[in-house]
Amino acid sequence: MPAPDFDAIIIGAGMSGLYQLIRLRQLGLKARVFETGSGVGGTWYWNRYPGARFDSESYSYGFSFDKELLQEWSWSEHFAPQPETERYLNFVADKYDLRRDIQFHSRVTAAAWDEASLTWTVTLEGGAQHSARFLITAIGALSAPTLPNYPGMESFQGRAFHTAHWPKEPISFEGKRVAVIGTGATGVQTIQEVAKTAGHLTVFQRTPNWCAPLHNRKITPEEQAEIKASYDEIFRRCDETFSCFLHTPDPRATFEVSQAEREAFWEKLYNSPGFGIWVGNFRDMLTDRAANAEMSAFVANKIRQRVKDPKVAEMLIPKNHGFGTRRVPLETRYYEVYNQPNVELVDTRATPITEVTPTGLKTTEREFAFDIIIYATGFDALTGAFDRIDFRGTEGRTLKEAWAGGARSFVGMMVPGFPNMFMLLGPHTALGNIPRSIEYNVDWVSRLLGHMQAAAKQRAEAGEEGTTAWMAHVMDCAVGLLSMEVDSWMTGVNRNVAGKQQRVIARYTGSAPAYREWCEGIAKEGYREVALA
């Protein structure tokens, strides 16, 4: 039997693919990364829409595995914008000489397991095939963009972009009539940036989200020195918090304190940078209906104070879900945008979009003319990137078939029936501050591969029992969360995707420390729940 081309194939050269490549090299394994794009960065390669940045503190977001890298790289802002993060990931690729093992312009369309040779054969668009003993998916949780299904979309004669397929050349909005469809974290960032220069901006909002101020600013030289001296402490803190952000819930319950204390605390959170207001709030804010309603009322008043036209303010205040039960977009003068004379807000629940025309689009009420339409309409989250590849495991069974009744995974990283396949951001892994999850998962997979090397094992497959236990834990974690009562990508809903209309327990909602404890337990017991042969 001919030797496989590689020890391991990694799909995707985003943060997880890059770090996995580094760790595989340390194990002495010959790896190849296949990447659709022409550069590294994944999310930070594709999402180059105006205003794109992360909501994690920059210094909690970068890789932590190399102290030298931490000292060499200087983030310029507390919350870095996309171009800087893309530069950072290129810096990482250069520093560790990663490009020689990355093949760009190479979309993986299929991957099939062969039991006789214990190898995966990966097929690229165009038909080329490559084999490897291990297959590692580094394809992201939010990487399969989705568009609405309006009639006439192809007929539009202006320029139209999905935010996740943004062109590399600069796009000018100066004097242009621009539409933005969608008001999730992406839409909010796009809107606040485009509104600065657009001749006229029309925002099409189906569901308002609860947004809160980001409070971004430049990092001063003194802060830079302090950050570089504190990395151990920063990452230790990330390791301890619920979702690996620098923020963690306040131990008090909402109604344990007086109204005045409560409001002072919320005021402080509203005026502080980052996700404190979402994940550093009172401990019952996301589980207690009355507590959540109080918090929602507080933020609703902020919106009323910031938006001059009371009718527009009411349109921007969510009515069908409470604060934090969907992902909270962090913003910079987002609400003030609606005070500008060149910005209009359209409620597409009241007046749905009926079609796109060559010159713009129509709602049930009006016809609009646009030069540019921006679709900030989100992703086929969590499983979409997997659905786009024809994965075939033992006996030719497809991953789609295996997941027909809902995605099922072993700690989000393995699937029974798919031996030697590891998912770095698979369904039901811990998410939160994503690079922290990525580093842990890459390390866990790498340790398992090291264990296999040491024990001369060739094949690893997640057991049914361990998978059932993990999925039961995932289901248990979701009990009592108010977010489970709301449609969003976090509950598996995307109205533009067939089969994703019903809420499901689509992700792991337990804490990152609990996730790691579970995974460490598996490792400590010699990977008892993984069949090794």
In the complex, the residues that contact ligand NAP under the rule CB under 6 A are: 53-55, 142, 148, 181-187, 189, 204, 206-207, 327, 348, 376-379, 489, 495-496
Q: How far is the CB of 234 from ligand NAP (least distance, A)?
A: 18
The helix (run of H) or strand (run of E) holding residue 390 is: strand 390-392
Contact 326, 210 (CB under 8 A): yes
The residue sitting closest to ligand NAP, measured at its beta carbon, is 184
Residue bearing tokens 């933020």: 299
Q: Which is nearer to ligand NAP, 4 or 378 (CB)?
A: 378
Q: How far is the CB of 237 from ligand NAP (least distance, A)?
A: 19
Amino acid at site 286: L
Q: Which is nearer to ligand NAP, 121 or 483 (CB)?
A: 483
Q: Which is nearer to ligand NAP, 287 or 363 (CB)?
A: 363
Q: What is the DSSP string of 92-103?
A: HHHHTT-GGGEE
Three-state secondary-structure class, residue 71: helix
Neighbours of 304 (CB within 10 A): 15
Cα distance between residue 276 and residue 330, in whole Å: 11
Cα distance between residue 464 and residue 241, in whole Å: 30
Amino acid at site 436: R
Q: How far is the CB of 155 from ligand NAP (least distance, A)?
A: 17
Cβ-proximal residues to 425 (8 Å cutoff; 6+ apart), any chain: 16, 138, 139, 140, 141, 412, 431, 434, 437, 438, 441
Task: Look up residue 51 and give its two tokens.
Answer: 């205003």
Q: How far apart are the first and last CA of the chain?
A: 19
Of the candidates 501, 203, 208, 487, the residue with the CA atom closest to the CA atom of residue 363: 203
Cα distance between residue 93 and residue 89, in whole Å: 6
Of the candidates 346, 70, 31, the residue with the CA atom closest to the CA atom of residue 231: 70
Q: How far is the CB of 366 from ligand NAP (least distance, A)?
A: 16
Q: How far is the CB of 128 from ligand NAP (least distance, A)?
A: 32
SS3 of 216-269: CCECCHHHHHHHHHCHHHHHHHHHHCCCCCCCCCECCCHHHCCHHHHHHHHHHH
Cα distance between residue 96 and residue 18, in whole Å: 9
Task: Note the Cα 10 to chain centre separation in Å.
Answer: 19
Q: How far is the CB of 386 from ligand NAP (least distance, A)?
A: 17
The helix (run of H) or strand (run of E) holding residue 67 is: helix 67-72
Count H helices, E strands: the chain? 18, 20
Q: What is the DSSP string of 408-429?
A: --BTTTB-TT-TTEEETT-TTS
Cα distance between residue 40 and residue 290, in whole Å: 45
Q: How far is the CB of 470 from ligand NAP (least distance, A)?
A: 23
Q: How far is the CB of 269 from ligand NAP (least distance, A)?
A: 18
Q: How far is the CB of 205 from ligand NAP (least distance, A)?
A: 7
Q: How far is the CB of 501 from ligand NAP (least distance, A)?
A: 11
Q: Which is nearer to ligand NAP, 131 or 494 (CB)?
A: 494
Q: Which is nearer to ligand NAP, 424 or 530 (CB)?
A: 424
Q: How far is the CB of 507 from ligand NAP (least distance, A)?
A: 11
Q: How far is the CB of 525 from ligand NAP (least distance, A)?
A: 33
Contact 492, 500 (CB under 8 A): yes
Q: Which is nearer to ligand NAP, 276 or 378 (CB)?
A: 378
Q: How far is the CB of 202 from ligand NAP (least distance, A)?
A: 13
Residue bearing tokens 């990966």: 122
Cα distance between residue 114 and residue 394, in whole Å: 7
